[in-house]
Chains A and B, each alone.
Chain A
Amino acid sequence: MPYDVPHTVSPGLWVLAWRRLRTDRVAMISMAIVFAFLVMMVLSASGLIAKDWGVESGVNYAPPSFLGEDLEQPKAAKDTAPARSSAADAPTPLDIKDPLADALAEIRGQSGKSAGSATSGADSDIVDPLADVMAEIRAKGTTATAVAARAATLPFGGDKWGRDVLKKTIKGSETSIFVGLAGALVATFLGTVFGAVAGYYGKWTDDLFNWFYSVFTSMPSLLLILAVAAVLQQKGILTIILILGLTGWTGVFRLIRSEYLKHKGREYVQAADAIGASNARRMFVHIFPNVSHVVLVQLSILTVAFIKFEVILSFLGLGVPVDVVSWGSMLNEAQNELILGKWWQLAAAGTAMALLVTAFSLFTDSLRDALDPKLK
């Protein structure tokens, strides 16, 4: 039967891209790593993990468990730590975990006891609405002041006050990734809207936005960020997201503008005009889906760049406030610790960041190849 051609729907851009992405092993692995970091960020933000990162659970500068206990506390010799690392390879993982587990159990037992006694005391008294809170505070106080119960080693070591570096790294990822993502979202949004308006309307609108573009690009973004940071005395996560967003939109703008210039004369846009679609509808309902892959790749590139920027700004003390832990502030502390031979905080923050950024960059490359095979 000549006319009985089976009706098949040809797959769209996203389906094709996803198929290409799935065959790319590097892309899938890097995507899994990025996803794991995002899950970690969400869990940490919702308080499910690393909630007690501020608790001083180990001794000051507690070394990582695989190095074993630091015998010369507090006067630590510089060369002992590297020397022990070879000896520490011998014990099985089970042995390594033991001292910490004991210490943790001890701490838990103590805090549980004090919490229990406090609550029962409150029960016999007149009902105090703050009793639970007080119990919690007391429990915290007991844990923090129980110097004897502090662990001699921590899984990835401890900082100057004996806080768990692993938990700090997790908590720091929350700040660094969130700032990077949110800043990239703001910048991409601004760049897309400006680029769409400039490319679509052309004429004086285009001139105006191009002027904006040339003004912003004639200053190095780093200088602009530092200048804004100097002016805004009030520090906070929102401030730094705004700084990154307001200074980072230019790259997206240039690409989106040229895409809109290309698309606005196409037949489907004329057809949309013919059926009476408004300018805004043509711009964001008809054209936007056709350029959204460019936007997505730019968002990914900016996120990586902004995570790096956030780390530098926080390191300099120009980023997030001091009481918020970020990978940048950890590196700042680690700088002084390294002179004392305490390298673990540097290693933890540096590795976490390098792992995330490597995975994110590889994923971005694969994403770009998958969405735009012509480029490859």
Chain B
Amino acid sequence: MPTGYFSLILHAHLPFVRHPEYPEFLEEDWLFEAITEVYLPLIFIFQNLHEAGARPRVAINVSPPLCEMLADKLLEERYTRHLENLIELANKEVHRTERKAHDFAPVAKMYAENLTASLGLWNDRYKRNLINAFRELQDEGVFEIITCGATHGFLPLISTREARRAQIQVAVQNYRKHFGRQPRGIWLPECAYENGIEDLLKESGIEYFISDTHAILYGDPRPRYGVHAPVMCPNGVATFARDVETSQQVWSAEIGYPGSPVYREFYRDVGWDLPLDYLKPHLHADGARRHLGLKYHSITGRDVPQQAKAAYQPDLAREKTAENAMHFLGERIRQAQELRKQFDGRTPFVLSPYDAELFGHWWFEGPQFLDFFFRKMHWDQNDIEAASPGDFLDSDLPIQIQQPSASSWGENGYFKVWINERNSWMYPYQHDAERRMTELASKNYTHAGGNATVRERASSKPQVTRILNQLARELLLAESSDWAFQIYKGTTVEYSTRRFQSHVQRFDLLAKMLETGEVNEELLAEIERRDNIFQEIDSSLYLP
């Protein structure tokens, strides 16, 4: 038995951003950047680790909106164009830097090589569908893929039981569609938990959820092993909570590894540095500058202004990444030994959750760090063993029963980020739609008469069923916690506000069709075309 278990949890999520109504759309770049910088590199390194026999083990949430975008044909085509265009720029840059900017030649070459390799993986190995890659890694025992709220809805702030339940049930259905099996675990959106959520999870067959540290530390009774062992809610659903020490080592901007001066600077991008005419073929039709993902500078120093940043040197960064990975592993051994002393010999379970997008997007060297870490863990020591929460549950080790405490992983530990003076205006609209959804489902599914099952009744009026299903999609999209989060943070406020308004408006337009019996087929079809998430949805799950 090892001295300690280490459980890496990655949360891969983006809101559903798909705009077929425009030929190109700035916010779709969120997905494209994440595919290039995060998902492809992570898949690539974990596939390689597996093939090398390093036996990596990670639980990863691929959120339902992300799954839906990764499986979408329109976005697939747009991403392919995006990547090809970026490779064109990267190749141009190799020539330019060789002639005129030698300091940046190594980094320009690195991008051209990486991007070309990414295109090969995208086209040839994964056939432009990364869901296949995630599923393959799950089948190989590398990933334990968990689910999330259907649209990352912040469950404690959803007003009806039916709407909360729908966030879970739609997610589980969607997981089955993409991964062909039942999910064992769930990343509660924002790790937001309050008493009673475990009952919804149990109804959907979920065995465990990820929570924040104080869900367990402040739970009742006191946890014998703190957050370094899961607890079981009285209804039998387990929760695993975040270890703070590992969070800080990777995530903290004060002491975290990503702040190393030799690592790549995130905010300095050729999209803002190079002449506009030169960049024009690689920008959107509006010709506006934006981040393009080719970033040539290192952090250099915390107080060094952007214009004084030094050229990024890939070799130096790689050395530092290996050093950080070794340090991280050494710290895990030390931590496990200390914990074990306190635990009377019981093996501690250290759960370390992160946004997947931290690795590769924000922290460029992150995927390489994980690669080094898992290699060293497998070949250079025997104290620490990688394990998923599902592995722990399968071990049949006893678990303490406890009622966890309300909490989230967001700023200040509770719900402030999602309900505050900047975004509280959203909730009367969201809650009104939640109430109407159940009202409309009750009215329309039961009025068809007969003793048939709900599903049969619904299918007797296909147009009504279409409207109800689209209502459910609009409600789910309005509930995405991403909008309230961005509005609070003050980033992409216009877009987030607009998205929330759009879904509430579309919900209202569709609801009025049902309420008045006047169906505008053209409008219905256009809304269906735009918000095509969850084609499998069954809105009868909103029935009380």
Q: Do A and B come from one complex?
A: no
